[in-house]
């Protein structure tokens, strides 16, 4: 049996992560990589709908925050452990994703994008008025004392996030080259034609929105334990949304590797700029990169590499 | 508890607020309704207008509305340039829906952050003789800082409406919205017409921005709250119909004001989006659109 290079890379990444938790002592590194991994999951999730299926979701921050607030509510109510919270966050957001999927029946293109943005604001207003999870004041979360065999809680969170990110990338990769993925691509290129050719468009769209929602919920669920204080403003941050859109666009939306490249590249750059210069500048640079890439290289980095390769072959 | 004077005050405040919303929306009604350009950054341009009015007002003591009118030609040029870029990068290659949207999304961020870097996140406000005064009619109070924007917004809407329906260029804009190819066959250049129209749309943001800063203090991220409102109004008004847009703006203003008075201000932001979601789901052609 031949082992594909992808799984070798996955094993290598996980091993490196474990080694990293054993060696590195400075907690900042775990904070930084956690943020990058979280952005990776968001980017990969956005790309399943935005890149593969061609529906733009502006409400990513809404999904993320619902995942985080599910986690707050459940840990406050019953004190569930982290894996259960992650599962619950994913499940709740998958349901919302399913609902969004039914929206695509009536709303196409621009209208869908605006409706998702609207949905995020509606959720934000609901959370603002829901005092059980802190309302507009926000909620404090105590990190549990237990953290398996890791030296600190953040190290464990980092490892959890790494595993989740790897899982999401693997799912996205499997989807990209599967029969399902081709159906999604057909919807993206021409929905009516796909429907006529016998592609079950509604079912595929529902699968893709549900999967996207689940991934974003999973990314959001550990967030309260990471920051220990969540208020609606930080959870529904538009910066989360712009990152989730900018990273796949910069990396390239048509291939599963695009959002991963974009997230790693932009995420690392953001961490460096935030530490060395300022966090406002970092938002500005992401905005400029997004606009520049969309206007000059709409296929992203993956597209540039492809173009370069095909030119060399000729 | 229901009280009549609170209700009457809320209705009047809502109507005034709605009139102001029309000024913020009219640029989008042209860009999105007529030209199919999803300028999600329109509220950000409005905020830029506010800051220009603020600078001119505090430096030279010029009335903010006048400052907005003076800035409008500049905005017109900026809008024309942006349309040129938009056309070259997206419209010509037929990718305007997905990429164009993300383009304006990125633009919105750039504007917001540049304003934050330049002026900080402090709230800014303007001074004018009428900002503090209130007219009292019976038990209904009409603050002048709401009445003046309402008046200017109504004039602006009327002006744009007359311009589009009476002048040659205005009709050309309506024509490009209806049938681009037919316009081309008549010997007109649709790209130039759209460039002019988009410039006009951005120019209205300068005036709307000056009104915004009269109504209340402004900081760079205020624009985000308007994204939902302006799109809700355009869609509810039936995409590009200027009178429909004005009525939809009044409706939204009144509903928002009633919700804020009787349920609390923290629920008001969801109103616009609720209206938008309902309209999109139940009657996508809007109140006054062709079904």
pLDDT tens digits, chain B, 291 residues: what are they? 567 778 888 888 889 889 899 999 999 988 888 888 888 889 999 999 999 988 888 888 888 888 888 888 999 999 999 998 888 888 777 766 677 888 888 888 888 888 888 887 778 877 776 767 777 777 777 787 888 888 888 999 999 899 888 888 888 888 887 777 777 787 778 888 888 999 999 999 999 998 888 888 888 878 877 888 888 888 888 877 888 889 989 989 998 888 888 887 777 777 877 888 788 777 767 666 654
For chain B, report the end-to-end CA distance as a whole number of angstroms: 40
Which 119-178 residues of chain A touch chain B by CB within 8 A?
119, 121-122, 124-126, 128-129, 136
In a domain, B197, yes or no: yes
Which residues 211-240 of A are in CB contact (within 8 Å) with B? 238
What residues pair up with A229 in beta bridges, in sequence order? A140
CB contacts of B89 in chain A (<8 Å) are 294-296
Tell me how many domains chain B contains: 1
Is residue B13 in a domain? no
A99 close to B (CB below 8 A): no
Q: B99 CB near a chain A CB, below 8 Å?
A: yes
Report CB contact under 8 Å: B269, A125: yes
Tell me if A209 is assigned to some domain.
yes
Question: b/e string for A230-254 if b means 16 or more Cβ within 10 A?
Answer: bbbeebbebbbbbbbbbbbbbbbbb
Rounded distance between C-alpha atoms, residue B207 and residue B71, angstroms? 8
B285 touching A (Cβ < 8 Å) = no
Cα–Cα separations (whole angstroms), residue B79 to A103, B37, B74, B76: 33, 12, 9, 5
DSSP lists the bridge partners of residue B143 as: B134
Q: Inter-chain contact A54–B99, Cβ cutoff 8 Å?
A: no
Question: Residue B170: inside a domain, yes or no?
Answer: yes
A291 falls within a domain: no
Q: Given A118, A124, A291, which is nearest B103 (Cβ)?
A: A291
Between chains, do A109 and B97 touch, taking CB under 8 Å as contact?
Answer: yes
Residue B182 lies in a domain: yes
Inter-chain residue contact B113 with A284, CB threshold 8 Å: yes
Contact by Cβ (8 Å): A282, B109: no
Q: What is the DSSP letter of A268?
A: H
Helix (H, G, I), strand (E, B) or coil at A172: helix
Q: Which domain holds residue A54?
A: 5-237
Closest CA to B84 of B248, B194, B158, B178: B194
User: Angle at CA B170, nearest 5°, toward B166 and B175?
Assistant: 110
| Residue A192: inside a domain | yes
Residue A296, min C-alpha distance to chain B (Å): 7
Quick check: is A88 in a domain?
Answer: yes
Residues in A closer than 8 angstroms to B272, CB to CB, are 118
- Which distant-in-sequence residues (6+ apart) come within 8 Å of B89 by Cβ? A294, A295, A296, B99, B103
Which residues is B137 bridged to in the sheet? B140
Within-domain flag for A282: no
Among B28, B83, B102, B110, the residue to mutate for chain A (most A Cβ within 10 A): B102
> Quick check: is B241 in a domain?
no
Please report whether residue B114 resides in a domain.
Answer: yes
User: Does a structural domain hold residue B240?
Assistant: no
Q: Domain total for chain A?
A: 1
Q: Which of A107, A78, A112, A72 is nearest to A92 (CA)?
A: A72
Q: Is residue A29 part of a domain?
A: yes
Per cent of chain A over pLDDT 70 is 98
Residue A253 lies inside a defined structural domain of this protein: no
Domain presence at residue A33 = yes
ipTM over the 0.85 cut-off: no
- Structural domain harbouring B209: 23-223
The answer, for B280 touching chain A at a CB cutoff of 8 Å, is: yes
- Domain assignment present for residue B206? The answer is yes
Which parts of B29-135 fold into alpha helices (H)?
A: 42-60, 64-86, 101-119
A249 CB within 8 Å of a chain B CB: yes
């Amino acid at each position: 049996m031949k082992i594909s290079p992808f799984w070798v890379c996955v094993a290598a990444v996980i091993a490196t992560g474990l080694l990293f938790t054993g060696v590195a002592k400075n907690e900042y590194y775990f904070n930084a990589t956690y943020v990058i991994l979280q952005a990776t999951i968001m980017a990969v999730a956005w790309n399943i709908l935005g890149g593969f299926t061609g529906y733009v979701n502006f409400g990513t921050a809404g999904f993320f925050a619902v995942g985080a607030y599910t986690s707050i509510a459940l840990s406050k109510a019953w004190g569930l452990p982290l894996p259960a919270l992650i599962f619950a966050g994913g499940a709740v957001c998958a349901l919302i994703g399913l609902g969004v999927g039914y929206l695509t029946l009536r709303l196409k293109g621009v209208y869908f994008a605006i409706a998702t943005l609207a949905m995020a604001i509606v959720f934000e207003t609901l959370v603002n008025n829901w005092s059980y999870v802190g309302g507009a004041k926000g909620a404090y979360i105590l990190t549990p004392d237990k953290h398996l065999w890791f030296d600190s809680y953040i190290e464990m969170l980092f490892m959890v996030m790494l595993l989740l990110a790897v899982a999401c990338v693997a799912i996205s990769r499997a989807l990209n080259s599967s029969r399902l993925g081709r159906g999604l691509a057909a919807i993206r290129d021409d929905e009516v034609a796909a429907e006529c050719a016998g592609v079950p468009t509604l079912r595929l769209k529902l699968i893709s929105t549900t999967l996207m929602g689940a991934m974003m919920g999973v990314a959001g669920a550990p967030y309260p334990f990471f920051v220990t204080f969540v208020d609606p403003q930080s959870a529904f941050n538009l910066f989360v949304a712009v990152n989730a859109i900018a990273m796949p666009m910069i990396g390239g939306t048509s291939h599963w590797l695009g959002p991963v490249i974009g997230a790693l590249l932009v995420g690392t750059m953001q961490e460096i700029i935030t530490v060395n210069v300022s966090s406002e500048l970092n938002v500005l640079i992401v905005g400029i990169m997004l606009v520049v890439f969309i206007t000059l290289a709409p296929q992203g980095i993956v597209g540039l590499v492809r173009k370069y390769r095909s030119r060399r072959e000729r | 508890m229901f009280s009549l004077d609170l209700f009457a005050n809320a209705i009047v405040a809502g109507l005034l607020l709605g009139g102001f919303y029309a000024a913020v929306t009219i640029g989008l009604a042209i860009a999105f309704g007529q030209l199919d350009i999803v300028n999600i950054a329109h509220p950000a341009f409005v905020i830029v207008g506010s800051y220009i009015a603020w600078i001119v007002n505090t430096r030279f003591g010029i009335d903010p509305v006048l400052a907005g009118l003076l800035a409008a030609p500049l905005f017109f040029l900026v809008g024309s340039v942006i349309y040129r870029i938009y056309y070259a990068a997206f419209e010509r290659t037929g990718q305007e829906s997905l990429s164009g949207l993300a383009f304006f999304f990125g633009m919105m961020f750039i504007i917001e952050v540049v304003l934050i870097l330049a002026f900080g996140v402090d709230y800014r406000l303007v001074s004018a003789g009428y900002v503090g005064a209130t007219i009292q009619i019976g038990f209904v109070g009409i603050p002048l800082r709401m009445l003046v924007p309402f008046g200017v917004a109504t004039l602006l809407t009327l002006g744009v409406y007359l311009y589009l329906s009476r002048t040659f260029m205005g009709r050309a804009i309506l024509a490009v919205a209806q049938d681009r190819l037919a316009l081309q066959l008549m010997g007109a250049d649709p790209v130039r017409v759209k460039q002019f129209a988009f410039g006009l749309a951005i120019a209205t943001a300068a005036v709307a921005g000056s009104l915004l800063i009269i109504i209340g203090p402004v900081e760079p991220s205020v624009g985000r709250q308007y994204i939902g409102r302006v799109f809700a109004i355009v869609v509810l008004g039936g995409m590009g119909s200027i009178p429909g847009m004005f009525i939809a703006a009044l409706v939204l203003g009144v509903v928002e004001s009633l919700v804020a008075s009787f349920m609390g201000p923290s629920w008001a932001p969801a109103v616009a989006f609720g209206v938008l979601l309902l309209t999109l789901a139940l009657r996508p052609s809007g109140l006054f659109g062709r079904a």
